[in-house]
Amino acid sequence: MPELPEVETIARTLAPQVVGRTITSTHILRPASLAAGTALVPALAGGRIQHVARRGKLLTLGLAPAGSAGAFPVPVPGLPPAALYLVFHLKMTGSLFVHSPDAAPGKHTRLMFDLCRNGVAESRLFFNDIRTFGYCRVMAPEDFAAWKFFTSLGSEPLSTDNQNIAKALGHGKMRIKAALLDQRRLAGVGNIYADESLFRAKIAPQTKTADLSRTALLRLAASLKAVLQQAVRECGSSIRDYRDAAGNAGAFQNSFMVYGRKGEKCKICESPLQCSNVAGRTTIHCPRCQKQS
Ligand SMILES: [Zn+2]
């Protein structure tokens, strides 16, 4: 599933294609893909897209009503202000692409939004999702307070200092891999960047958080940020069919030290990498390099 670097890349590549455009109509091909229901769908019409943002693995489009001066009384923590939001969770296979205004839906198209600029039909935003685990929510700013998944999201690792990342990860009885994946502690980390940051910090994924020293937690915080920053610079990791909203693949998969390398040799010590199940997820690590606590 797209993690922080991939969603950030999709947001950055989608923004120039949709910001400033007005939604003229919404086509619902699969109603269940609208997780918050359809009540606010009519309110999308005439809304102008102000910004594309990311919170954790969520991608948001913020809208202002036609002719609005841009003053929005209800702020949403962690998101730029807007009168109405389209919130996408891409999950396993969700994707967002902009096509020509008359493009026909594909087999896996779940939603389409017609966009116009200066009164002229310009394009059509597609939400495609093969496995249908992804969703879109149409939300007013005041709706976010009642959405527990959103309000319980932890801090953004790239804008949190190492001390606070160490604090967010270093409590409780979880294994450190599970703590990294826990979106309530830090938002946006998934299987790829959990395994890669643990390798770089030389920490075994099954180590209990309580058994990690402060030094180890700070090293992990620094590794996590370095890995995420590099992945954002390289436009994410393309495994399976991930593409950004401009249709380009990412390049960070070329820097994987452990993820997806089951049975291969460690790039540092040449020991065979070990595959195990931690926190219900396939986990790859080097038993020789990842021993520190
Ligand atoms: Zn090794």
Q: What does the pLDDT look like over 238-272, one tens digit per residue?
A: 987 788 999 999 999 999 999 999 999 999 999 99
- pLDDT tens-digit map of 77-132: 999 999 999 999 999 999 999 999 999 999 999 999 999 999 999 999 999 999 99
Taking 90 as the threshold, does the pLDDT of residue 71 lie above it? no
Residues 170 and 270 both lie in one domain = yes
User: Do residues 270 and 182 make contact, with C-beta atoms less than 8 angstroms apart?
Assistant: no
Q: What is the mean pLDDT of residues 193-214?
A: 97
Q: How close is the Cα of 258 to the center of ligand 1, in Å? A: 9
| Tokens 């059509």 -> residue | 124
Residues 123 and 27 both lie in one domain = yes
pLDDT at 69: 64
Q: In the chain, how many domains are there?
A: 2
Residues 64 and 37 both lie in one domain = yes
Active-site residue list: 2-3, 57, 281
- Domain membership of residue 267 (yes or no) is yes
Q: CA-CA distance, 58 to 154, in Å (whole number)?
A: 13
pLDDT at 242: 84
How is residue 29 written in tokens? Answer: 């091909």
State the sign of the Cα–Cα–Cα–Cα dihedral 139, 79, 247, 192. Answer: negative
Taking 70 as the threshold, does the pLDDT of residue 70 lie above it? no
User: Do residues 123 and 99 make contact, with C-beta atoms less than 8 angstroms apart?
Assistant: yes
In b/e form, how buried is each residue of 225-252, taking b as 16+ CB within 10 angstroms?
bebbeebbebbbbbeeebbbbeeeebeb
Q: How close is the Cα of 251 to the center of ligand 1, in Å? A: 23
Q: Which residues contact 196 (CB under 8 A, 6 or more apart)?
A: 227, 256, 257, 258, 259
- Tell me what the pLDDT averaged over the chain comes to: 96
Q: How close is the Cα of 161 to the center of ligand 1, in Å? A: 28
The neighbouring-strand residues paired with 278 are 281
- Residue 27: which domain range? 4-151
Residues 115 and 193 both lie in one domain = no
β-pairing, 109-117 vs 22-28, is: antiparallel
- pLDDT tens-digit map of 10-67: 999 999 999 999 999 999 999 999 999 999 999 999 999 999 999 999 999 999 987 6
- Domain membership of residue 41 (yes or no) is yes
Q: What is the dihedral of CA 19, 139, 71, 20, to 10 degrees?
A: 10
User: Do residues 214 and 170 make contact, with C-beta atoms less than 8 angstroms apart?
Assistant: yes
Q: What is the mean pLDDT of residues 139-150?
A: 97
Q: How close is the Cα of 263 to the center of ligand 1, in Å? A: 12
Residues 123 and 162 both lie in one domain = no
The residues placing their C-beta within 5 Å of ligand 1, an ion, are: 266, 268-269, 271, 286, 288-289
- Domain membership of residue 290 (yes or no) is no
